[in-house]
Amino acid sequence: MSTFLSGLAKGMATTARTMTQHAHTQQYPHVHPDLPNRSRGVIALLEENCTSCMLCARECPDWCIYIDSHKETVEPGPEGGRARQHNVLDRFAIDFSLCMYCGICIDVCPFDALFWSPEFEYSETDIRNLLHEKDKLGEWMPTVPPPEATAVIATDVTAVAASTAAPDSAPVDSPAVDADPGETP
C-alpha cells in the first residue's frame, strides 16, 4: 500500500510541476510555424530549365519521378547550318506517396531545374492525389528561397600562399641511387 501511495505522490508532484510551466504547443492551423532557412518541404520544378535528360528519374531510388518527352527539330538560323533536335518536356510528375525526400534528384540535376521548397501543406485525403504534375510542381517555385551567399575566405593570394608554404628544412643525406644493392658502403 505504501508503494502505491508513494507512486501516487510522485505522479501528483510531476503534474503540479508541469502545470506551472509554459506549454510549447503551437496552434498549427491558426499559427504557422517558423521554419529554419533552407528547410525541406516539397520538390519544386523550374520547367524552363528541364531538358528531359532523365537523370533525376534514373537516380531516384524510389522510382517516383515520371518524365515523358519528345524531340522537335529546330531549323538552322544562319544559312549553311544544319537542323538540330531539341527535347520538349511533355510530362514531369512526382509521386509524393512514394518519395522519401532524399534530395538525390535535386543534387544530380545538371541544369538546376529541381529545388527544395519550404512548402509543406500539400496533404491529400486520397493517396492517389499525391501524384503532382509539372503544373503543380511549378506553382511551388515562387516559395523557393534564394541561394545563400558564399563567403570569400581570402582576397590576397600571396598571403595565402605564404602562410601555407612549408618551412625550409635541412637537406637529408640519402644514399646514391645507382649503387649496387649487393655492395655495402
pLDDT, position 82: 87
Query: How does pLDDT run across 54-88, given as a tens digit for each residue?
Result: 999 999 999 999 999 999 998 887 777 888 899 99
Whichever domain contains 63, its CATH number is 3.30.70.3270
Which whole-number Å values give the CA distances from 51 to 29, 33, 125, in the listed order?
38, 36, 33
Note whether residue 116 is domain-resident.
Answer: yes
64 assigned binding-site residue: no
Note whether residue 43 is domain-resident.
Answer: yes
The DSSP secondary-structure symbol of 140 reads T
Query: How does pLDDT run across 131-169, given as a tens digit for each residue?
Result: 999 999 999 999 999 888 776 665 555 655 565 555 555
Note whether residue 61 is domain-resident.
Answer: yes
Count of structural domains within the chain: 1
Note whether residue 23 is domain-resident.
Answer: no
Q: What is the rounded average pLDDT of the residues 16-41?
A: 84
Return the SS3 of 4. helix
Note whether residue 120 is domain-resident.
Answer: yes
Q: How confident is the model at residue 22 (pLDDT cuts 50, 70, 90)?
A: confident
Note whether residue 11 is domain-resident.
Answer: no
99 assigned binding-site residue: yes
The domain of 50 spans 35-76+83-147
Q: What is the rounded average pLDDT of the residues 24-34?
A: 83
Note whether residue 42 is domain-resident.
Answer: yes
